[in-house]
Structure 1
Amino acid sequence: MGSKENGYVFTITGRMDQSDSGLYRRHQRVMKNVRTYCREYCDYTGIHGFRYFGERRSLFEKVCWIIIFISSLVVCIGVIYKTYIKWQCSPVIVNFASEEKNIYQIPFPAVTICHEVKISREYFNYSKTLKAIAQGENISKEELRKNPVFSYACVGSQEFFDKCTWMGKVYPCYEIFQPIVTDEGLCMTFNMLNKEDLYKDIVTSQPIKQKHLKMYKPGKVEDWTIGYGYGDLAGVETYPRRALLAGSANALIVVLHKAIRFPTVQQHYFRIPLKKSVIVAISPTQLITSDDVKEYSVSKRKCFFQSEKRLQFFKHYTQYNCKLECLTNSTLRKCGCVAFYMPHNLDMAGLQHSINTENNKRDNFDSRLKCDCSPMCASVEYNVEITEIDYDWYKEFESLGYGNMDDEEYSKSQLMIYFKSSHFIPYERNELYGHLDFLANVGGLLGLFIGISLLSFFEIIYFLTLRIICNLRLYKNWYGKENK
């Protein structure tokens, strides 16, 4: 391969100075030791395919195994990346709960009733004024001014209760109902939180005649929270009320909504015709979110916990309360006033002039508002099935000893609301991939494709640190036995 002549070493690649030949030999020896140490690692490691890299076999066999190993590694990395994306984008899953819940664990739905005749003649004779306008008769400027306002939101007489029953017990209607100003004017609501529990102190209460308040007995929120429901010490008489059994009846004209959500009658309602009995069967839908999900951001879990989102006017966060507050603030910015039913303080007093137009366009307007109003992480919704039959109320009164009643003189309607079943299956929002789940999936994929486990990483660290130190003490060199 070479010869020594005139103080030089001749090789195939050229001539090399004798002083450089020692460096070359040291380099060759180091590379040999590195190959020896790497071959020893390949013999002992548990990673699939590495043992074939260290064997003294043909180059073709080694190249084939290198290609196979790299291909498996590339596929493994690709699958792990997809698992990571799924973990980051969809870490939460909603499934049916494993156990049923009883209806007494959730509140009875809040029921808001509104009379179609909202105008008391002691304030304004709307029918007379409307007839005069239709016939082209002259009316006063005051009547002309009041007509469009009172046609929409007159705080008129609400004396339309006849009999109210709750859980088989008859109550004075105004003892269990409280007045509330909605987008349909003055209404009465059952089982909704009191204004003190619904609004913050900065909200100005709408003026309501005292005759509607003298019998109502407000409750106190002590044994119930929106996130965790009723406590273990909650008794039969709770606030908000709950039904202990299916089949409770109430004579109501109703709009169904959650007990902590402000009612919007124009958007969610059904009508009770005269001389009809409307039967409403309620099926609750509850969504529960585990505390583990709280570790994820709102953009990933797509919901708010009560402690995470604070509203300006409402004490409790709901998606609709948030949208209503956002609509209120936007209306104030654009018009300088707000609609009468919207929450407001003393600085926001005023009645929006184009209320009917605003309500007709509310759905489109909401979609244009940029509000961070994600759904609640813990919520209860109520689905209804409605049946309608004729209501022979006069026969019922005759059976109670009231004598013959003239059907033409009185017209009554009845509404029966009850839970369809005493039990229901809630939904649960849980982690799809937790940190341990993701680690287990990654470990399984690494083991499936290339045979890497947690010990394999410690094995690499061992060969790069501790084994070298021990070799220096045992063999006086770092690479171990000479002819390995």
Structure 2
Amino acid sequence: MRVNVGSSSSFSPQTIQQIRPYLRYLLYNVLPVNATPTEYQYLDMILKSKNYTHLEFLQKISPDCQSQLIRCKLHDHIRPCRELFQRIETENGFCCSFIYDENLLGKDTKGQTMSFGYRWGLTILLDPQVEDYYASRSKLAGFQIFSHETADRISMDYPHQMVFARNEIDIRVTTSLTYAIPYVRRYDVDMRRCYFNNERKLLTFSNYTQYTCFLDCRSRQMLATCGCVPPLWSRTSNWSICTLTQASCVKANMERIMRTINHVHRDVEPYKSNPNSERYICQCYPNCNLYIYNTYYDVTPLERNFSMNDMEFFSGVELKNHLMVHVFVSDMSGEHTRLDVYYQWQNNFGLFGGITSLYMGCSFISILEIFFFLFVRPLCNWLARRRPRRQVGHNNNLKWAGKRKPKIAISSIA
């Protein structure tokens, strides 16, 4: 974010000289500035004298997209930049977003592509307007480039790349998708640590992502602490915007509120060994079905003195402090990762049998064999031995009965 003093034409030269030393205090939520409450009150008094709020004044002195985006080319066709970019509010300031809302653009304008390579991407010629720099986050003239999902909103901690004047930047984009199987939904959120679609609702955003959850959580914490939210932060229509007189409260609590992880138990081991030691603020877990855009940057000096290529794109432009950005999909394929349950009770049961067979030479067949030899076979042998003994005893009785001679007794009948 940067401010441009020359754009505030409603101020007199005397007022501009008065407000100039305090301009960097307007960016207190993104810059490390040290100002006293008295200085904030003086700056707030000057703005109120011209009927400006803090947010309205930031909108006026921030550069617009039309003056910075000189020429654009999409899918190998030159298009007006105003059809491709829109000015939006972010925590970093006012940004020019590429096709932020397709409903507001022309019907023949499409941001999707089914091709890959340098030719079928987006090319932008930018003018950083070096002469207008007065207060900015960086010491060099240039831009911050964010590559994000459509539902995300840019925050202060969002990954980005710095690009500076007189350079040509190639941004190669690769995609990766993580999807979860339906079985994962059976587990609690604290265990699976992700949200399915429409499972988590936010106050200030309609679509849930991890970054929008962070923004929503910070705004609610700041509202509960200071009774307001800073300009450009996410908010609802009935939330108050912090004035410059409340800047001291915002700065005093900024470090605590900007945290993304809270230490629940400080006396336990780190998160890798104990999942209860650290947790995301407001339980802002990522999406279970997640798109990630990985970007790779190549930077070279911008030199056109002896170049004959793309004459139409550079026609009528005198390159001074300009820079050029090429954004394109670098590969026809991407990573596809499945989020699944790694261990279930069947896995643990099979794992126990596998480890037992590995270290003890034991398997289910071995267990059956041991049971057979220890119990079944001795029982069968015992039963088999008892049956022949009974048969032998019976035969011996018959044999003994055959050897005995009968006795005859004769008695007279009287």
Q: TM-score, normalised by structure 1?
A: 0.52
Q: Counterpart of 2:199 in 1: which secondary structure?
A: coil
Question: Given residue 166 of structure 2, which amino acid in structure 1 is its aligned partner?
Answer: K
**Cα offset, 1:163, TM superposition:** 0.8
**Cα offset, 1:277, TM superposition:** 1.5
1:421 alignment counterpart: 331
Task: Measure, in 2, the Cα distance between the counterparts of 1:332 and 1:139.
Answer: 23
| Paired residue total | 308
1:122 equivalent among 4, 9, 13: 9
Structure 1 segment 58-137 matched on structure 2, within 5 A: 117=4, 120-123=7-10, 128-129=17-18, 131=20
Task: Measure, in 1, the Cα distance between the counterparts of 2:315 and 2:366.
Answer: 88
Residues 1:143 and 1:380: Cα distance change in structure 2 (over 3 Å)? same
1:380 equivalent among 284, 288, 291: 291
**Cα offset, 1:295, TM superposition:** 2.4
Q: Counterpart of 2:82 in 1: which secondary structure?
A: helix
1:354 alignment counterpart: 247
> Is the aligned partner of 1:317 residue 2:188?
no
Q: Counterpart of 2:340 in 1: which secondary structure?
A: strand
Structure 2 portions without partners, runs of 5+: 24-41, 127-142, 263-279, 373-382, 388-414
Task: Measure, in 1, the Cα distance between the counterparts of 2:232 and 2:325.
Answer: 26
Task: Measure, in 1, the Cα distance between the counterparts of 2:113 and 2:170.
Answer: 19
1:367 equivalent among 261, 271, 277: 261
> Is the aligned partner of 1:187 residue 2:95?
yes
Structure 1 portions without partners, runs of 5+: 1-113, 197-215, 220-235, 460-479
Taking only aligned residues, the RMSD between alpha carbons, in angstroms, comes to 4.5
Task: Measure, in 2, the Cα distance between the counterparts of 1:331 and 1:363.
Answer: 7
**Cα offset, 1:164, TM superposition:** 1.2
1:34 alignment counterpart: none
Question: Given residue 249 of structure 1, which amino acid in structure 2 is its aligned partner?
Answer: L
**Cα offset, 1:276, TM superposition:** 1.8
2:322 equivalent among 404, 408, 412: 412
1:244 alignment counterpart: 115
Residues 1:120 and 1:440: Cα distance change in structure 2 (over 3 Å)? same
1:166 alignment counterpart: 74
Structure 1 segment 273-352 matched on structure 2, within 5 A: 273-351=164-242
> Is the aligned partner of 1:255 residue 2:149?
no
**Cα offset, 1:132, TM superposition:** 6.3
1:391 equivalent among 269, 294, 302: 302
Residues 1:372 and 1:168: Cα distance change in structure 2 (over 3 Å)? same
Q: Counterpart of 1:384 in 2: which secondary structure?
A: strand
Runs of 4+ with >6 A deviation: 144-148, 394-398, 401-405, 445-448, 452-456
Asked whether the equivalents of residues 118 and 185 of structure 1 are also in contact (C-alpha less than 8 Å), the reply is no
Q: TM-score, normalised by structure 2?
A: 0.59
**Cα offset, 1:325, TM superposition:** 0.8
Q: Percent same amino acid at aligned positions?
A: 17
1:9 alignment counterpart: none
Asked whether the equivalents of residues 274 and 412 of structure 1 are also in contact (C-alpha less than 8 Å), the reply is yes
Residues 1:394 and 1:173: Cα distance change in structure 2 (over 3 Å)? farther
Q: Deviations over 1:61-119 (max 9, x none)?
A: xxxxxxxxxxxxxxxxxxxxxxxxxxxxxxxxxxxxxxxxxxxxxxxxxxxxx666487
> Is the aligned partner of 1:153 residue 2:153?
no
Q: Deviations over 1:364-393 (max 9, x none)?
A: 544348411112112122232222222236
